[in-house]
Amino acid sequence: MEERGDKESVIMGDEQVDEGKNHEHQNIQTSRSEKGQREEEHAEPEEIGKEKGMGIEETKKELELEAEVQMELRQSVPGFQTSFIRGTDLFGYVGIEAVLDQMRRKTMKAGFEFNIMVVGQSGLGKSTLVNTLFKSKVSRKSCTPDYEEKISKTVKLHAVSHVIEEKGVKMKLTVIDTPGFGDQINNENCWEPIVKYVNEQYEKYLREELNINRKRRIPDSRVHCCIYFLPATGHRLRPIDLEFMKRLGKIVSIVPVIAKADTLTVEERQEFKERIRKDLTSNEIHVYPQREYDEDPEERLLNDRIRESIPFAVVGTDKEHQVNGNKVLGRKTKWGIIEVENVAHCEFANLRDLLVRSHLQDLKDVTHNIHYETYRVRRLNESNMNFSELVLTSWPLKNGTDTCETESQL
């Protein structure tokens, strides 16, 4: 029995030795893999790029993106391990990129909303410019039958909505006009109805969000952009301009434009723009696109070029003329034709690119994520009311906003 016990102890001892060796072997393999992983992490982008057959810049961008994704995942889910799998590491085609087509189909089917406000004194061509921007009759004057120009005693806002369709994409465009702004002898507090209207749309959206049975898609009547028209005086900004942009710039994205810029020479226009930029900087007025909202270096470069052109010197018209056998939008004078879409004549094309072709979605994002979010936080903090009270209380529109809806197709 003793011999048998000795043999069993010897066998168990051998097994423990073998297990120890296996454990050491696993530790060595783990340390090697960890070491390899660390070496990969600290490897130069050039070496990884050579292995993957990629350029240095592309490799750096990939590594930065990977680090950002991993950092976000670590912050959101503590203790959660994740890895970054590139397309070259996949065994075959998965089809992840098809989500872009899915998003495109859903957006085309549902359409989207864009709400634009035009502010300025009468006679600066606000309606004409909006019609030129969207190449259709979308202004209040164009869609109102038997319209008569009258100077409003007070600032009364008018909202006109159209459904515009282009290449299968539907957009509900709402143009908010502000007749009476700056037309009175005493223009004290003439911006208050406009500030109130903007805040009312935020309030309406907030109440819809807080409803118990809220709509699947909340109607968006918030002002995404405000085009502020400056008269082509050639001097500096007026007190009413400074006060309006200082107040409205905190709650909505403002794009200032010099109206009827064809009344100025090229030199006068450039000097006027420089004076306006100095006034905006000295009075700490923020206009769109704001530098603090730039997300990456590429976007910053594009926005810097836009900021150098602000305010845009624009000319609007809805009439076509023949120039070298081609039809162009322009204003005919006895000296020649001022082509609206020609960058050498005016900066209308730059304004249209900003509002529609390059920054339309960004304007909506800034409205939702910055301006509306600021209003929502302030409203919930200062009111200190419970959700049921917020939802059940009525919020009537007291500024007499008129709305009319028409449909047009491009």
pLDDT in tens, 325-366: 888 888 888 888 888 888 888 999 999 999 999 999 999 999
Residue tagged 């929502």 (tokens): 376
Residues in CB range of 175: below 8 A, 6 or more apart? 116, 117, 118, 130, 138, 139, 140, 159, 160, 161, 162
Q: How far is the C-alpha of 174 from the C-alpha of 117, rounded, in Å?
A: 8
In the prediction, which pLDDT does 403 show? 55
Digit-coded pLDDT (tens) for 194-242: 999 999 999 999 999 988 888 888 999 999 999 999 999 878 899 999 9
Residue ranges of the chain whose pLDDT lies below 70: 1-82, 141-154, 383-410
Residue 216 DSSP symbol:
S
- pLDDT for 216 equals 85
The two three-digit tokens of residue 130, written as one number: 């909006």
Q: Enter the tokens of residue 27.
A: 């530790």
pLDDT at 297: 86
Q: What CATH superfamily classification does 108-140+154-181+192-210+218-385 receive? A: P-loop containing nucleotide triphosphate hydrolases (3.40.50.300)
Q: Which two tokens stand for residue 141?
A: 């004057």
CA 342 to chain centre: 26
What pLDDT does 51 receive? 46
Distance CA 59, CA 71 (A): 18
Could you give the residue ranges of the DSSP H alpha helices within 256-369? 266-282, 297-309, 348-352, 360-366
Phi, psi of 72 (to 5 degrees): -65, -40
Give me the residue label for tokens 């909303």: 113
Q: Which two tokens stand for residue 206?
A: 């907030």
Backbone angles phi, psi at 196, to 5 degrees: -65, -40
